[in-house]
Structure 1
Amino acid sequence: MKIGIVGLPYSGKTTFFESLSSDEGTSAEHSKSKSSFSVIKIPDERLDFLTAIFNPRRKVNATLEVDDFMGSSNPEISTYNSKFSVAAKIYDAFILIIRGFEDPSIPLINETIDIERDINIFIEDTTIFDLSFIENRLEKLEKELSRAKNKEEIQKNQQILKRWHNTLQDGIPLREIELTKDEELLQKNYQLLTMKPLVIAINLSDSQIDIANDIISDLNQKFSGKRTRIEPFFARIEKEIMQLPENEREEFMKEYGLKESALRRLLRSTYDLLGLLSFFTVGEDECRAWTIRKGMTAQEAAGVIHTDFFNKFIRAEVVHFDDFKELGSFAKCKEKGVFHLEGKDYIVQDGDIMHIRHG
């Protein structure tokens, strides 16, 4: 999964990326003309607990690949231009960094701080890209229809595209509508930008901590949706947190009234919006969190571990993390009847601890 970090110049986008990379991953070199990327570990207290119990040789977190999209710093050139619309198709979701802080030493792109305006710039520009793409595609399909022998497939695609076009014209991003199976297949081919999940990170100053919840509450009424989340983010504080030793961070956050790093919260929001979940495998060699899509079966999850496990799947031994944590051992879980065998069609739940039996 690849996440695009996007935003206007001087929004704190690169600070966000660098903080994320220094804490949770390893990053590639930054370039003014290209995106830089980092493979980010998804923080998971459940995996931490299992690692403490089993004391394995290594712990492997679930990961996401994150790109810092490098737009133009020239205010005369739109950040979300045609080059962006092409490059951004590779992303599975966006984290949009919005500037909400005042700082005379940092230039303003649009003369004033206006959170709603800057969110709307992104939404409106991506909507225009998608409308243009759909209109061009409909024109091509109309030409293909006149000479096609089998018109049914083309007509079906036309109906879908017209529905999407009407939705966008009504001011609704496509990420907020339920898709049919046919629409999901078509989106895989087209990668429309307004279809991608969106986490909006409002970059605030430490002087705004006390009013952050009010700011987010107001924005939620206007912008939140099924696949849109809005979260506060304090770039300066996060940068300081990442420079501290691990054992000093909690005390530092308490001084600001923060319970956890905003980076971790944003990562979890993105992970959830993508429709992902984690299951675990444990042992003396390794404790690992595996990433799969919600709704995948035990056999499909086994295939994520190794293709042979899919092809030679027999059964999955399953206990949920919550039960294991409460009871403390697999033996106790078996005694209480919460340790069970499942067949290939079992739908894996977030937090399942699994051992795959295979031929």
Structure 2
Amino acid sequence: MRLGIIGLPNSSKTTIFNALTGLNRPTGAVSSGQIEVFNAVVNVPDERVDKLSAMYEPKKTTYATVTFSDIAGIDKGFGESGLSGQLKNELAQVDGFVHVVRAFDDDAVPHPYVTIDPKRDVEMVDTEFILSDLIMIEKKIERLQSDLNRTSKGGRDKLEQELALMERLKTALEAETPLRDIELDTEEEKSLRGFGFLSQKPLLLVFNTGDQLRPASEILTYNHKNTQTLSLQGKIEAEIAQLGKEDREIFLQEYGIADPIARRAIRAAYELMHLQSFFTVGKDEVRAWSVQIGASAPEAAGVIHSDLQKGFIRAEVMTYDVLMELGSEHGVKEAGKLRLEGKTYIVQDGDILHIRHSG
């Protein structure tokens, strides 16, 4: 999973990147005028991995990961002529956005639009994404209409279905409705995957409240689908993220931060992306994997390696909770709690899988 961190200039985007990743990128760096993207891979915190590792004592322990990408600041007008080049590619390729919104005043770092107004700032970026998507859809509609004019009656059905979908999306965007809010069936969602529409991507709004923490609900009501909101004291959390584990826990307690932003953001991202975790275990490696909620056992096998999905026969399944309760894999087998599941089995969060396959 890759999440793009976006925001207006001087929104404290890089401060939040540092808080999420534990890095210490300069927050006052002067732009080179080029599109700059900084990536950091972060382990997904999961105490279940720790406990499995303690039980199996493997040679290697591997957590699931999230990539955070600090993408160049977005400003008013960037979507009016449509996106092109590297910025378009970077924005289109992420799985979702972390939109950093400034909710604090600081005379040393002036807001580009003078006043602190989170509602205005959120709407500004939303509008740019909607405009960018609208331009793409209008161009697609023109091509589809041209194709229809050249296509005989027998081959028009698929083109007409695609045109009807694009017209429906165009109507929504013209009403300033992000594509996240549009109900789509499975086939429609599949047909749109290659477009990388910006207003369709899951969105995590992060309000940086400066020195005084305020709940996100007090800052802005944002009633859109596939969206969550969080607030944090950005500078404080970024500084704490640089510390060692013991010092970090002390300062989190001192500031009354029950859960650091990295944990909260990753948890929210999993919910937005409809992801869950399953595990593979053994003396060589204990590893966490991310898979879509509702995925079948062969699809989970494919996350591990495509060959396992192609040659899938059965999956040996035990649950994390049962393993912890019974104390060992041997205890699970003795209790009859180790199951053999076939191709139709739907993987559950916390499943521990061993894939039987041909080849």
**Same topology, TM > 0.5:** yes
Contact kept? 1:71, 1:80, Cα under 8 Å: no
Q: Distance in 1 between matches of 2:21 and 2:300?
A: 28
SS at match of 2:115: coil
What is the aligned counterpart of 2:43 among 37, 41, 44? Answer: 41
Aligned to 1:27: none
**Which one-letter code corresponds to 2:242 in the other structure?**
Q
SS at match of 2:192: helix
Q: Is the helix fraction higher in 1 or 2? A: 1
Contact kept? 2:96, 2:201, Cα under 8 Å: yes
**Which one-letter code corresponds to 1:190 in the other structure?**
F
Consecutive unaligned residues in structure 2, runs of 5 or more: 25-29
Aligned to 1:66: 68
Contact kept? 1:100, 1:204, Cα under 8 Å: yes
RMSD: 2.3
SS at match of 1:206: coil
**Which one-letter code corresponds to 2:222 in the other structure?**
F
**Which one-letter code corresponds to 1:174 in the other structure?**
L
What is the correspondence of 1:107-118 to structure 2 with a 5 Å cutoff?
Answer: 107-118=110-121
Q: Distance in 1 between matches of 2:38 and 2:23?
A: 16
For residues 13-60 of structure 1, the C-alpha deviation after alignment (integer angstroms, 9 at most, x for no partner) is: 112223333369xxxxx9742211122221112112212222222211
Q: Distance in 2 between matches of 1:185 and 1:146?
A: 25
SS at match of 2:238: helix
Aligned to 2:27: none
- Identity over aligned residues, as a percent? 39
For residues 210-241 of structure 1, the C-alpha deviation after alignment (integer angstroms, 9 at most, x for no partner) is: xx22x42552xx31433101011221121221
The reply to whether residue 147 of structure 1 matches residue 150 of structure 2 is yes
Q: Distance in 2 between matches of 1:234 and 1:40?
A: 20
SS at match of 1:257: coil
SS at match of 2:16: helix
SS at match of 2:133: helix
The reply to whether residue 19 of structure 1 matches residue 10 of structure 2 is no
Consecutive unaligned residues in structure 1, runs of 5 or more: 25-29
**Which one-letter code corresponds to 2:70 in the other structure?**
D
Q: Distance in 2 between matches of 1:104 and 1:80?
A: 29
Using the TM superposition, give the Cα deviation of residue 194 of structure 1 relative to its aligned residue in structure 2, in angstroms: 0.9
| TM-score normalised per structure 2 | 0.89
Contact kept? 2:21, 2:262, Cα under 8 Å: no
Contact kept? 1:197, 1:227, Cα under 8 Å: yes
Aligned to 1:57: 59
Contact kept? 2:77, 2:128, Cα under 8 Å: no
For residues 317-356 of structure 1, the C-alpha deviation after alignment (integer angstroms, 9 at most, x for no partner) is: 1112222223322233334443211112211111111111
Contact kept? 1:203, 1:233, Cα under 8 Å: yes
Aligned residues: 345
What is the correspondence of 1:213-224 to structure 2 with a 5 Å cutoff?
Answer: 213=215, 215-216=216-217, 219=220, 222-224=221-223
| TM-score normalised per structure 1 | 0.89
